[in-house]
Amino acid sequence: MRIGLALSDALDFIHRQGLTHRDIKPQNIIFVNGHPKLADLGLITEIKPPDQERTLVGTPGYMPPPPERPGTPQADIYALGMVLYVLSTGRNATFFPEMATTLVEREDPADFLPLNTIILKACQPDPAQRYASAAEMHRALQEIQPAPATG
């Protein structure tokens, strides 16, 4: 949850600057003083209009399904959803949307279901069905975050 909140906030910042990351994947997440950060900024580019030609860059498994091309905020949201899938299930992105049996066999699998709902929405094949923005995805993650323990 903490990683999703930090990365969705970072992605929102990038998008508000008129940029898109284009290669969000677990290997491009680093930790600085224990805080997750998006790395490998070499593919960041300006957000282009939908009708403008975009190069096909990114990492298979984290790029949206064809015919959608990478290089849009919606494609970045898809990639972030896929990263959350990989981190939360321990499975390779090629297994999406299957859940690991260890999640289903847990004492309370319902703990994973709210996050899984967010992942499924972020990774919808139709970009119009995804979160409208990284900020919207961030708010959804905040809503399911467990309340801090009081003592």
For this structure, is 23 an active site residue?
yes
Identified catalytic residue from 9, 12, 23, 76: 23
Give dist(CA 37, CA 20) in Å, integer.
Answer: 15
Tokens of 27: 């290997």
Distance CA 134, CA 118 (A): 12
**To which H or E segment does residue 45 belong?**
strand 45-46
Q: Which residues are catalytic?
A: 23
